[in-house]
Amino acid sequence: MLKLRTKTLLSKLTWLIIPAVLFWSLSFAGKQSAKLQCNGLRVELLPKQDKASFLNEAKILTLANVPAGEILTQTDVNNLDVKAMESALQNNPYIKDAQVYLDINGKLNIRVAQNMPLIRVFKNNNSGYYITEDGFKMPLSNEYSARVIVASGNITESYTPGNDSLTTQVLKELYDLVKLIIRDPFLREMIDQIVVSRKKEFMLIPKLGNQKILFGNYQHADYKLERLKLFYFKAIPQVGWKKYQVINLKYSGQIVCEKSNETE
């Protein structure tokens, strides 16, 4: 009987002690966390760039309002609003995605994926913007100019902060056309500019030679580009770069050329 009472008493004491121990452990851990100071900083910018770009570590820290130098390492981790930092970065038009978090050691980690420009658009009113690889508009920068295919001519669509989607059909087709061009190593190095006509047709300007390539509308774009490559590989080596001033791809099954006044 005594043994049974003893076991019952020990059981009750155990159930009283366990919550107390858990409460003390959590309180201790909370106090330790509150005392934990930031243990450094790691910034990762993707894709990695060997040359200049729209963003660098200093710009990212400024955008995220991260305390500088010793101020950061003297800051309690609980005073670092990582969600606000992440939101500030994600709202920047040059940033595709951002992640900000503190690891178990108290280090502040910032991981940023930047938007990559595909096309630079010049409008008639001297304004402009970029179209990114993902097909969204992005503003020009006063600090950096990307070397990408330039588009000009009859382009009416503007860039408005907060509305970066492509809305006009001609701009959507321009984006698709450039995607086809840069997919091919030869054409990617060859085509420098695209001019949009009033009829919403495209004219390609190459980096080499003085030709104007009348591409027409976007219809059968991949087929036209293959014919253009064939012309450069087969005809140009025989007649030279100055033979023709206009290369017309608008007609199905043939390439019509206009001779230049220049000679080799």
**183-232 pLDDT, tens per residue?**
999 999 999 999 999 999 999 999 987 889 999 999 999 999 999 999 99
Mean pLDDT for the stretch of residues 129-147:
94
- The structural domains of the chain, with segments of one domain joined by +, span 41-114, 117-259
| Contact status, residue 206 vs residue 245, Cβ threshold 8 Å | no
Q: Domain 41-114 falls in which CATH fold? A: Ubiquitin-like (UB roll) (3.10.20)
Q: Among 93, 99, 88, which residue's Cα sits nearest to residue 64? A: 88
Alpha-carbon distance of 28 to 25, in angstroms, equals: 5
* Residue 255 burial (C-beta neighbours within 10 Å; 0-12, 13-18, 19+): middle
For domain 117-259, which CATH number applies: 3.90.1010.10, 3.30.2270.10, 3.40.50.2300, 3.40.50.11690? 3.40.50.11690
**7-63 pLDDT, tens per residue?**
554 455 455 555 544 443 444 344 444 568 888 899 999 988 656 689 999 999 999
Alpha-carbon distance of 36 to 44, in angstroms, equals: 23
By residue count, the chain amounts to 264
pLDDT for 125: 73
Beta-carbon contacts of 169 under 8 Å, excluding residues fewer than 6 positions away, are 200
| Contact status, residue 131 vs residue 175, Cβ threshold 8 Å | yes
Point out which residues pair with 223 in neighbouring strands.
none
**2-14 pLDDT, tens per residue?**
444 555 544 554 5
Alpha-carbon distance of 95 to 7, in angstroms, equals: 65
